[in-house]
């Protein structure tokens, strides 16, 4: 194997780097083993041991400014605010918003979405849809959590009903209430 000019001889043979990596790994392994054991018996509580989040049994608290969940906002009469103008779907770089527009019997009133789906497996959470909306009908605001959506691909498509329900729940339970609901199925926070 030819040695590149930027590499020293010791880098080229890899062995010192492999040994260095093993030393770091073993240092943390032994340190954590010692500290976790000491914590069990009530010692060294002031020194933190590294711990791994035991996902999915355990979840980390999201930062307060987490905005990883969409919702469709509602009018005062609880109908959907969206007018099915397609601007969000056009702005979406992941092409993950699917809208079917419907018309009210009174043609002077703007349209509404019969269907409004967001495929969260394709979404890159860029927020362009929120910025594109001229009537504040779609939001990704803090305090809303997607939770465990399911185990099949179809369950990760958030429908109009799901997105509207999120707005209803937020109005009813508030951000803290939604968070408590979100963490309830998990043993630890």
Nearer to ligand SF4, 91 or 162 (CB): 91
Distance, CA of 6 to CA of 178 (rounded, Å): 54
Classify 80 as helix, strand or coil.
strand
* Shortest Cβ 67–ligand SF4 spacing (Å): 9
Nearer to ligand SF4, 35 or 72 (CB): 72
Q: Are 62 and 75 in contact (CB under 8 A)?
A: no
Q: Measured from the CB of residue 182, what is the shortest distance to ligand SF4 in angstroms? A: 20
Report, in Å, the least distance between residue 139 CB and ligand SF4.
Answer: 9
Rounded to a whole number of angstroms, the minimum distance from the CB of residue 154 to ligand SF4 is 17
What are 90's two structure tokens?
């056009």
**Degrees (nearest 5) of the Cα angle 141, 144, 150?**
130
Tell me the H-state helices in 41-120. 87-91
Binding footprint of ligand SF4 on the chain (CB under 6 A): 82-88, 91-94, 96-97, 99, 118, 123-129, 132-133, 135, 137-138
Q: Would you say 22 or 124 has its CB closer to ligand SF4? A: 124
Looking at the Cβ atoms of 99 and 178, the one nearer to ligand SF4 is: 99
Q: What angle do CA 130, 133, 139 make, to 5 degrees?
A: 35
* Shortest spacing between CB 1 and ligand SF4, in angstroms: 44
Residue 133 or 178 with smaller CB distance to ligand SF4: 133
CA distance to 15, 16, 20, 21, 22, per residue, from 12 (Å): 9, 10, 14, 15, 18
């Amino acid at each position: 194997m030819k040695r590149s000019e930027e590499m020293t001889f010791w880098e080229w043979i890899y062995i010192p780097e492999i040994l260095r990596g093993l030393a770091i790994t073993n240092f943390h392994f032994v340190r954590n083993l010692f500290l976790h054991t000491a914590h069990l018996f009530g010692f060294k509580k002031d020194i933190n041991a590294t711990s791994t989040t035991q996902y999915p049994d355990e979840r980390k608290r999201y930062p307060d400014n987490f905005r990883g969940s969409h919702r469709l906002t509602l009018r005062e009469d609880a109908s959907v605010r969206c007018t099915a103008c397609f601007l969000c779907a056009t702005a979406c770089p992941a092409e993950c918003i699917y809208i079917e527009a419907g018309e009210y019997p009174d043609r002077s009133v703007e349209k509404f979405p019969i269907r409004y789906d967001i495929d969260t497996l394709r979404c890159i959470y860029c927020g362009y849809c929120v910025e594109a909306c001229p009537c504040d009908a779609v939001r990704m605001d803090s305090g809303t959590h997607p939770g465990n959506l399911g185990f099949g691909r179809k369950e990760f498509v958030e429908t109009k009903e799901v997105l509207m329900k999120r707005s209803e729940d937020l109005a009813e339970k508030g951000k803290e209430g939604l968070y408590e609901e979100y963490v309830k199925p998990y043993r630890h926070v």
